[in-house]
Structure 1
């Protein structure tokens, strides 16, 4: 219960922070092709900002070890969804549905649920989550330095 309260507090604080932030960076020309695939009017830069402010708090890309995480790394989540879904539309739909309303039944990653617990419900709008998930699908997500060795250890014989 205490862990869930901490998660909710972190998510609420980062969500409130992100609502007040404006992304003033100039758009990178290499990202413009991805913007056509963004839902609503959320740009790729805005989705990247939402990802950084809301998701990396728990799904840290710069953690020093697996033990330092509050949730599985996004690179691993992306790989799992890519392997399980097979196409863009299903990837975006399944990941968005889960992130918007996390349930044990909808979870694709049962091991992390056992280790970290169920992801708390976010304060983000479904359109914001869909934009983040679309960004994740369209872009390379950096993995922590230890992730490759951890993945080989955890998934021996499954590759």
Structure 2
């Protein structure tokens, strides 16, 4: 291919305003937007909504995940200052480790908030369940369960 290895950037800006090198650097910054989207997908699973597409529940999940991302970003800013969020100077740190650490802390805090009251246990378990799927989650075969219940499981127990 004739243009292989070349990057062509077209702009209407006059060269007196921004030179070629500055325009190329600015063009590379656009990838930061792509990286934010990638980070939202890989660290916060923003692309995995546990609801049907275009449903009100999907909207709720998406808004919740965007709120989660905003909270994560705010905590990163408070905890690590401009080093974690700036684009106007040399960067010595990436968002990945910061976001992963903070997201895990938030998730742990949210999980710890699940109700301890026994009357809510069924709802709690239901909220953690997988979506229905064609293939059932694996479990012990019925005959094996019978042997365990009868106490003839050869030392195997359910606990």
- Give your verdict on TM over 0.5: no
Higher relative contact order, chain-length normalized (CA < 8 Å, sep 6+): 1
TM-score when normalising by structure 2: 0.28
Bigger Rg, which one: 2
Q: Give the structure-1-normalised TM-score.
A: 0.28
